[in-house]
Amino acid sequence: MDSLALERLPGLSPADFPPFLARAPWWGGDLQTLCNHLPGRRAPLGDAERVYLPMRDGSSDRLVGALHRPAAPGPLRPLVVLIHGLTGTEQSHYMVNTASHLLRLGFTVLRLNLRGAGASRPSCRFQYYAGRSEDFADALAALPRALTQGGVVAIGYSLGANMLLKYLGERGSEAPLTGAIAVSAPLDLAGTAQRMMWRRNGLYQRYLLRHMRAESLGEGAEITGSERAAILGARSIWEYDHRFSAPRNGFRGAEDYYERNAAKRFLDGIAVPTLVIHALDDPWIPPEAYLGYDWRRNPSLIPLLPPRGGHIGFQGRDRHTTWHDICATRFLEAL
């Protein structure tokens, strides 16, 4: 399946993407996943410029990003915008490490905090959710022309990848992106919420819920009393979405919210070259949506679906660079 898709993008061949081979001690999907949440040394980034991107919905909310320029000027390259996942921020390990890797290659990188996340929290009354693709459209529209003259490539992770794929599918050939990369996207939001309720995922769910509560109740958030009670009373991600995320954003409940915002509904409409990276042993995301989609239907999509790698893990034989960053680099070179 991978080889068939890879032949569609000029400049790429199946050999351009190495197979994923895990290295010790990161055996299995859980250890691969946990490596992003363990304390450890982060890649160096240097100074960042603060970028403020106003939303066009009348809320006065602004997304805040950290912009990094390469130390030495080089040929004109696309701006790379990184979009974090659920409870992530510009400071998430995968965001920092990818930014550092791309900076060394000469790319300008923007680590974007979604609405109400990280550095965006004090500047926002409202909160991001899995399908808030209009926020990304507003952020792109607000970028200075000097940053985008070489084009823009977006890399989304987890929930941010779902939002990115939805955005691409909605806009088709009108999406103002040179290319996109989705890493560990929950194509089936309902299936992902159900899997998170498995007993074996209890630790993951408690960790995410704790950070979801802190995020949604943080400085600047505009929350009613009933919404606060729903946030604090939720005992699962499904319940949090059913009682808070869905009604807050005009959906009838969790099922309606998941169905209308799941990226799997938008894959056919994507017209921008898009690399889709997902490990089939991801403990958070069931593989059925990836295995059930006929990737031959859309020549713009390049699926890389290794059997191992966890959730945004991909700790491979290269100890300095994750496998998904190696694949992203080769994709960017081909673009």
35 & 126 share domain: yes
Q: What does the pLDDT look like over 200-253, one tens digit per residue? A: 999 999 999 999 999 999 999 999 999 999 999 999 999 999 999 999 999 999
| 186 to 95, 149, 198: CA distances (angstroms) | 18, 31, 16
CATH label of the domain that carries residue 277: 3.40.50.1820
The pLDDT value given to residue 3: 38
91 & 127 share domain: yes
Q: What does the pLDDT look like over 90-113, one tens digit per residue? A: 999 999 999 999 999 999 999 999
Q: What does the pLDDT look like over 26-83, one tens digit per residue? A: 899 999 999 877 766 667 788 899 999 999 999 999 999 999 999 887 889 999 999 9
183 & 194 share domain: no
Using a 10 angstrom Cβ sphere, with 0-12 exposed, 13-18 middle and 19 or more buried, the burial of residue 162 is buried
Q: How many residues does the chain have?
A: 335
Question: 16 falls in which pLDDT band (50, 70, 90)?
Answer: confident
Distance CA 51, CA 68 (A): 10
Domain that holds residue 177: 2-188+263-334
The pTM for the full model equals 0.95
Question: 8 falls in which pLDDT band (50, 70, 90)?
Answer: low
35 & 99 share domain: yes
The DSSP result for 18-48, as a single string, is: PPP-B-TT--HHHHHHHTTTS--PPPP----
Phi, psi of 81 (to 5 degrees): -105, 125
The pLDDT value given to residue 245: 98
The pLDDT value given to residue 205: 97
The pLDDT value given to residue 37: 77
170 & 195 share domain: no
178 & 58 share domain: yes
As a whole-number percent, the residues of the chain with pLDDT over 70 amount to: 94
Q: In the listed set 261, 278, 308, which residue is the last one of a domain according to the structure?
A: 261
Instruction: Look up residue 63 and give its two tokens.
Output: 């997304």
64 & 100 share domain: yes
**What stretches of the chain show up as alpha helix (H) in DSSP?**
2-6, 28-34, 93-104, 133-142, 145-148, 159-171, 189-196, 202-216, 225-233, 237-240, 246-248, 254-261, 288-292, 323-334
147 & 67 share domain: yes
Residue 145 CB coordination number (10 Å): 6
- The pLDDT mean for the chain works out to 93
Tokens 């979009």: give the residue: 83
Non-local (6+) Cβ contacts of 293 within 8 A are: 187, 264, 267
177 & 206 share domain: no
Residue 105 CB coordination number (10 Å): 15
The pLDDT value given to residue 166: 98
Residue 2 scores a pLDDT above 60: no
The pLDDT value given to residue 11: 52
Helix axis angle for 159-171 and 133-142, nearest 10°, is: 80
256 & 302 share domain: no
Non-local (6+) Cβ contacts of 210 within 8 A are: none
Distance CA 127, CA 8 (A): 38
The pLDDT value given to residue 46: 84
Q: What does the pLDDT look like over 308-319, one tens digit per residue? A: 999 999 999 998
| Terminal alpha carbon distance of the chain | 21
243 & 297 share domain: no
Domain count, the chain: 2
The pLDDT value given to residue 6: 42
Q: In the listed set 217, 236, 261, which residue is the last one of a domain according to the structure?
A: 261
Helix, strand, coil percentages, rounded to 5, for the chain: 45, 15, 45
53 & 198 share domain: no
Instruction: Look up residue 85 and give its two tokens.
Output: 């996942």
Q: What does the pLDDT look like over 243-265, one tens digit per residue? A: 999 999 999 999 999 999 999 99
Positive or negative: CA dihedral 65, 275, 12, 281: positive
Q: What does the pLDDT look like over 277-306, one tens digit per residue? A: 999 999 999 999 999 999 999 999 999 999
Asked if residues 83 and 155 have their Cβ atoms less than 8 Å apart, the reply is: yes
The pLDDT value given to residue 68: 97
| 213 to 87, 140, 226, 259: CA distances (angstroms) | 9, 28, 14, 23
Q: In the listed set 261, 283, 317, which residue is the last one of a domain according to the structure?
A: 261
